[in-house]
Structure formats: C-alpha cells, structure tokens
Structure 1
Amino acid sequence: MILGIGTDLANIDRIAGTLDRFGDRFRNRVFTEIEQAKAERRRDTVGTYAKRWAAKEACSKALGTGLAMGISWKDMAVSNLRSGQPTMQVTGWAAERLQEMTPAGHEAIIHVTLTDDHPWAQAFVVIEARPLADAESSLDS
C-alpha cells in the first residue's frame, strides 16, 4: 500500500547561487558528509546537490509534513546503490514519523527517483508499506 507520495522541482541555478553565497554553511546544514562527497566527485556538482535538495523536499512531502514538525534536512539522506540507483535513508524525527505512519505488520520502503535537465532538478518519492513475511504467513494460516 502507498503511504505517501512527494515530488519537488528545484532550480539548479538557484542552488548554485545559494552555494556561491553560503558555501560550506549551506552544505553542512543541508547535506550529509556522504551526500557532499558524492556531489564533490561529480562533474555536475551543483546538479547533484540540486537533485538531493529536491529529494529531501519530496521525502518531507511524502512523510506528510513538509519541512515542518521538527524534521531536519539531514534527517533525510540520499545515497546510491552500486548500480547507481538512488536510495533514501531517514533518521531522527523523519524516521520517527515514518514509523508512526507505517501500519503494524508492515515495513516501510522508500522509493526515490532523481532527474535533471538544466536548469531543473526533479525528485519523486513514494513511501510503500509492505507486509512483513511473518505477518503475511500468519494471514495465510
């Protein structure tokens, strides 16, 4: 079952301006060390930051809160599988909110997709609740 859906469209040039103006202060407030390392290794550093910004906004919307109610930017972090597929991890208040909205006997799966076409970066986040294997087998009995 779908628990939440979020999307965001970020302007890469606006993120570039914010990086130019605030530099490390912005990076360290919004992005985890892993996200920063990934962006700094990429040829399109700013586009990488913009996609991750959009993913955090989209995740907060899928959680049903926006960036209110105590969620920190760093409570939502994008990393990549070896295949390159982006993944979203949540900690802190975002993890508490996710647990709150996940029905008993289910696990929450966060799906994220990112894209960019200058000057836009876009992210979609879908939060799915899947029945746990133990809960599923007890239903079959």
Structure 2
Amino acid sequence: MKSIRIMAAVLVAGMGAIMQAVPAQAADIHRTDLVQHALSAPGIEGIQVRVDFDPGAFAPKHTHPGEEIAHVLQGSLEYQLGDQPPVTLKAGESLFIPAGTAHSARNVGSGQASELATYVVRKGAPLVVPAKP
C-alpha cells in the first residue's frame, strides 16, 4: 500500500512538471494547424495556423523563434508589440512581428475574431514561448 502511495505521488509530481513545460492554450482561443514544412534555408520551417478568438479572448505576451505575419480574417484584433502602443487591425489587414518580439493579441470586437498566422521559424524550437514579465 505504501508503494502505491509513493507511485501516485511521483505521477502527480511528474504531471505537474509536464504541464509547466507545455504552454497552455487559453480555452477561449482555438488554434488549427494548417501547414508545417521545411523551407529551402537549412534549419528553417514555415508554419501556418488559423487562430480563432472568442469575444474578449486575450493571448498574453509571448515570443516565437522567428518571424510571424498575422493576417486578420474576421473581426478586430488588438496587437501590442513590445512597449509600442497597441494597434487594432480589422479583417483584411496584416501585421509583421519580428523574431523574438514579445507581443500579445486581444479580440476587441463584439463577435468572433480570427487570424491566419504564418511563421518562419527555427525547426524544432517551441513555436510559442511565454514572455518573461
């Protein structure tokens, strides 16, 4: 019985470490992976995802291991890059986010908002890294 308790404690501790290592996706933000493919430059890949934001959804400051091009498909999204003032984009507008730039995104419209995010990043690196405060 004692060994079962020890094993349970080890499993719980291990799951906690795993959960901290994997960036959580907010319940009100939905990501659909579309394309991931190696590019002609060694060690670089292109990744494209659709990100859907429920009303009021917020993606806190984070970085990527390369560049991002965000294109708003629907709604209105407010982006803040580094310490720059926030900028609001509507459907049909795009934004370039330089490699390593901490940024956040928020749905500031009254309905659903969506973006097409295209990344040119180092292959094998975590795509999203929470920014340090």
**TM-score > 0.5 by shorter chain:** no
TM value normalised by structure 1: 0.26
- Higher relative CO (Cα under 8 Å, sequence separation at least 6) belongs to 1
Higher strand share: 2
- What TM-score does the superposition give when structure 2 sets the normalisation length? 0.27
Q: Which of these two proteins has the greater Rg computed from alpha carbons?
A: 2
Which structure dedicates a bigger proportion of its chain to helix?
Answer: 1
